[in-house]
Amino acid sequence: MARALGEILELPVLELDEAHWGPQWTPRSDAAIQARIDEVMAHDRWVIDGNYSRFQPGIWDRADTVVWLDHSFPRLFGRLIRRTARRTLQREPLWAGNRETVRVALASRDSILWWQIKTFLPNRRRYSRRLADPRWAHLRAVRLRRPSDEARFLAGLRTS
């Protein structure tokens, strides 16, 4: 979604995972991540993809729109399994040259699959609360619940 938004709107895109992960899956410092966020937000308009809550207030203060892919757990988990399997089997390079492995995906405490299971409901509740908070009243909240909503939203941007 973020890449599609960036392409359609001709805007710089930052994936927070790219800012977060260094070589060998080493997390970067918060200062380094914030510097990368600041670099992108120095543009008048931008797209930032991710839900790193410690950076969210600073990003949302400057944002005008939040796009929330609020799909069901089975849909999101299915997408995550397919994406992880593809990345693993094809040895697809990710941020800083890192690659997902079967061991990390399935058996590690850092498993993205386990992370999704643990965080799905808390993240959904947190986003609902934050978007209802008057502090964020300046934001246009776009809540997309199905792939067809995503397609309509992107099609609307292409024609406007």
Which sequence spans correspond to the domains of the chain?
2-159
Residue 92: φ, ψ to 5°: -65, 125
Look at residue 29 in the predicted model and tell me its pLDDT. 98
pLDDT recorded at residue 51: 86
pLDDT value of position 21: 95
Successive 10-residue mean pLDDT values, the chain, 160 residues: 96 97 95 98 97 94 96 96 94 93 81 92 95 96 96 94
Please give the Cα distance from 9 to 80 (Å, whole number): 26
Cα distance between residue 135 and residue 119, in whole Å: 24
In total, the chain counts a number of residues equal to: 160
CATH 3.40.50 fits 2-159, yes or no: yes
User: What is the pLDDT at residue 106?
Assistant: 81
What's the pTM value of the predicted model, to 2 decimals? Answer: 0.90
Q: Which residues of 6-18 are buried (b: 16+ CB within 10 A; e: fewer)?
A: beeeeeebbbbeb
